[in-house]
Every structure is written in structure tokens, then in C-alpha cells.
Amino acid sequence: MEDFSGLRFTVTRLCGGIDLLVRPEKKIPIDLDRVHAQMHSEYQKSREFVNFDWNGYYITLYPAGSILIFHENNKGTAIDIARSILSEVYDERDVEKVGYVDEKV
């Protein structure tokens, strides 16, 4: 399991401030097909994102590691959630499939 405790994030308020987009300072390659299966998501998945429920939150995860957290307006909590999700779903083999690493977002 990768440790993302030292990774910095940018948080943007969306939808009137009730949803937060959390973007890591560098791209984190994520294989959305693998995550969709891993999270047993019953929601839609596309090449651009995957949706799933995580600890009571509705999440949209993007292939560069950005995470949209619905109905959370605390930036600190959103960063903690993003770190936890990335730690759970990141697989270093995704670098080969997705094709980038250590690039700024």
C-alpha cells in the first residue's frame, strides 16, 4: 500500500461549496477498470472517470488521481479522504498501463 501522507493537494469548491475536487500535486496513474472492479461499483464508469461509494461518500475518481467528493465541505476532511482512497486504490503497475508518473497536474 502506497503512503500518500506527504503528498500535497489543491482543493476546489464546486456546486455551491457542497462538493470538493481534490487534486494531487502530481499525477497519480489510476487504472479505472481495475478500480471499478475493486470497489464493486454499481455506478457508471468511463475512460474519464469511475464513480463508487466509499465510507458513506459518493466519489468520482479520475485517471490522474483527482477525486471529486460529494457532500463534503471541509477541506481537511476531503484531503484525508483523498489520501485514504489513493492509498487503497493505487497500484504501481498502473504506471505502465496509464503511462505517466511524477508529472505536475
pTM here is 0.86
Residue 104 and residue 16 in contact, taking contact as beta carbons nearer than 8 Å: no
Average pLDDT over residues 73-82: 95
Q: How far is C-alpha 49 from the chain's CA centre?
A: 9
Average pLDDT over residues 2-24: 89
Written out in words, the top-level CATH class of the domain with range 9-97 is alpha beta
Q: What percent of the chain has pLDDT over 90?
A: 55
- Cβ atoms within 10 A of the Cβ of 37, count? 12
CA distances from 89 to 1, 13, 15 (A): 9, 24, 26
Average pLDDT over residues 43-48: 86
Strand 9-14, strand 19-24: pairing:
antiparallel
- Grid cell listed for 56: 458513506
